[in-house]
Structure 1
Amino acid sequence: MSASLKNKMGSAITYLILVMTTIVVLYPVFWVVTGSMNPGDSLFSTKLIPKSLSFKHYVYLFQETDYLLWYKNTLKIAFWNMIFSTFLVVTAAYAFSRFRFPGRKQGLMGMLILQMFPGFMGMIAIYILLLQLNLLDNHWGLILVYAGGSIPFGAWLVKGYFDGLPRSLEEAAKIDGANHIQIFYKIMMPLSRPMLVFIAVNNFIGPWMDFIFARLVLRSQENKTLAIGLFEMVTGRTNTEFTTFAAGAVLVAIPITILFFLFQNQMVEGLKAGANKG
């Protein structure tokens, strides 16, 4: 068998695998989108390709449920978590990367060990802590939990990126009279834009899709998030509102899709930079 034939066969197999993977990934998405526009209500009456399309489920979400309130609550939590988490992660990473202080190695090792345990292992401790701080059923209590939980993984990733930046830039800035705060904001931040975008988008997506901690902390109807509201929409109802649930799921994906298309280049660059320089 000639080398050119082998290359063609290898390319054909690669494309076949990619096509099959694409079908497997997009099939559930297509099913949910078409399901949200099925005239019926239950899972059993839903068809992959409906005879007619209806948007009544989207109208029902906004007129008959608290979906818009859930959406606002989730957007608020995700946005402020993105701000606080990114700030905490980047400042912690800069400190561990550029400063030498007692307990530095132990702190890094502690963050590394914390990543080995799933977050829900501390649910009882988090619940008791928020109860003592009077932050149960409070969006800010949930934001604090998310922000603190993002530090170990994010700080390690950003620290690896900062370690790869030349120290000569900071030394030159110090000679010109710049202090650490000026160096951080005027030199390190502009050079770290891809990594910052990656961390910010990840910290937005996490709370947007989370159910476990939101379910633990939030109790009242007016504080519920999208995950809690949509879950309760179909729980114990034998899938009688599947199409409405599908309509809500489609709308949930819109902000994440927009963020991905806007920042996909920076996210890929940031992920590659953190992996290569970590």
Structure 2
Amino acid sequence: MESMTVRRRVGDVATHIFLAVMAVIWLLPIAWVLAESFNANPAPFSSTFFPTEYTLDNYTQLFRQRDVLNFPKMFLNTLIIAIFVCLISTFFVLSVAFCMSRLRFRFRRVFMNGALILGMFPGIMSVVAIYFILKALGLTTSGMTNLALILVYSAGSGAGFYVMKGYMDTIPMSLDEAAYLDGCTRWQVFTKIILPICRPMIVYQVITSFLTPWLDFVLAKAIARTQENYTVSLGLWMMLQKEYISDWYARFAAGAVCVSIPIAILFIVMQRFYQESMSGSVKG
């Protein structure tokens, strides 16, 4: 009995040590980027791992010095694109998932299989074709880049309905039938019954839909041809180019911190919707 207790304690100690080491490894790069964003030395070369002098100039210059790299404009471009893509993609995914889960019609299984097969191919394979399609439509010009990125990120989002559909499949059909007997339309069943129950999955969809354009580099690099239309990922990439890195390396770290702020805010705002809400939908 004592040997089992000793083995259990040794296992617990080893587990906690392992988790502590992994936590340090995970947090160390974050701590370094945060410290580097306050580094008084803007150059990439330093004799110490962490900075020895700290300043707020990197943040102030990042938003004030717009003649070289207009980071505020890039940040605003990305924020506008991410918000619109988040709203459109979430609506598309919810609508398609509801149709696939609650309705029965011809070619339903064919559509689902086709979407599954197409989802196996990486999106980067279609970058060239997407660019030439947008160019033919006149959407690659300077004033239309944001619209083009919104269309590209949102257009195929409905095909990623499988996770949402799987969650909707767990909702009893008896709820729908009871609502139809009470005189509800399909739209009312969708908005009054299904959506409140799917709230945790809606949180997941909102976060992933926002992060896709916020963090994407490949599509933005292919479509945004001028600095006026750059997103933050392209702006951060530019800061590490040889003509800018000597003066913008510390500002790159400051920009990385600024990019993480909307993501953190989104997680905090959506946190309260994580709990299951079956009772809320029934009461409503």
TM normalised by structure 1 equals: 0.91
Superimposed CA distance per residue, residues 228-247 of structure 1 (whole angstroms, 9 cap, x where no aligned partner) = 11211221237312111111
Aligned to 1:204: 210
> Aligned in 2, Cα 1:265/1:12: closer, same or farther, shift over 3 Å?
farther
Aligned to 2:98: 94
Task: Give the CA RMSD over aligned residues.
Answer: 1.8
Decide which of 108, 122, 126 is 1:122's aligned counterpart.
Answer: 126
For 2:271 and 2:10, the matched residues in 1 are separated by 31
Aligned to 1:252: 259
Cα offset, 1:265, TM superposition: 6.1
Q: Which shows bigger deviation, 233-242 or 162-171?
A: 233-242
> Aligned in 2, Cα 1:18/1:200: closer, same or farther, shift over 3 Å?
same
For 2:275 and 2:147, the matched residues in 1 are separated by 31
For 1:46 and 1:267, the matched residues in 2 are separated by 45
For 1:89 and 1:113, the matched residues in 2 are separated by 17
Superimposed CA distance per residue, residues 24-82 of structure 1 (whole angstroms, 9 cap, x where no aligned partner) = 11111111111111111111127433332101111111111311111111100000000
> Aligned in 2, Cα 1:97/1:119: closer, same or farther, shift over 3 Å?
same
Cα offset, 1:267, TM superposition: 5.3
Aligned to 1:131: 135
Decide which of 124, 140, 148 is 2:147's aligned counterpart.
Answer: 140
Cα offset, 1:220, TM superposition: 2.5
Contact persistence 1:81–1:204 (CA under 8 A): yes
The within-5 A match list for 1:132-171 is 132-137=136-141, 138-153=145-160, 155-171=161-177
Task: Flag structure 1 segments of 5+ consecutive residues without an equivalent.
Answer: 271-278
Contact persistence 2:59–2:254 (CA under 8 A): yes
Aligned to 2:84: 80
Cα offset, 1:266, TM superposition: 4.3
Contact persistence 1:46–1:243 (CA under 8 A): no
For 1:79 and 1:104, the matched residues in 2 are separated by 31
For 1:214 and 1:91, the matched residues in 2 are separated by 27
**SS of equivalent residue, structure 1 residue 2:** helix
The within-5 A match list for 1:251-270 is 251-264=258-271, 266=273
Q: Which shows bigger deviation, 88-97 or 52-61?
A: 52-61
Q: How many residues align?
A: 269
For 1:76 and 1:17, the matched residues in 2 are separated by 42
Contact persistence 1:35–1:47 (CA under 8 A): no
Contact persistence 1:195–1:269 (CA under 8 A): no
Superimposed CA distance per residue, residues 140-159 of structure 1 (whole angstroms, 9 cap, x where no aligned partner) = 11111111233333x00000
TM normalised by structure 2 equals: 0.89
Cα offset, 1:258, TM superposition: 1.8
Aligned to 1:275: none
Query: Identity rate of aligned residues, in percent?
Result: 38
Contact persistence 2:41–2:53 (CA under 8 A): no
**SS of equivalent residue, structure 1 residue 83:** helix
Within the alignment, does 1:188 sit opposite 2:212 as a pair? Answer: no
Superimposed CA distance per residue, residues 83-120 of structure 1 (whole angstroms, 9 cap, x where no aligned partner) = 00000000000000111111111111111112211110
Task: Flag structure 2 segments of 5+ consecutive residues without an equivalent.
Answer: 278-284
**SS of equivalent residue, structure 2 residue 245:** coil
Counterpart code for 1:125: A
For 1:46 and 1:68, the matched residues in 2 are separated by 31
Superimposed CA distance per residue, residues 135-180 of structure 1 (whole angstroms, 9 cap, x where no aligned partner) = 2242111111111233333x00000011000111110111111110
Aligned to 2:27: 26
For 1:267 and 1:48, the matched residues in 2 are separated by 39
For 1:246 and 1:268, the matched residues in 2 are separated by 35
Cα offset, 1:198, TM superposition: 0.8
Contact persistence 1:35–1:48 (CA under 8 A): no
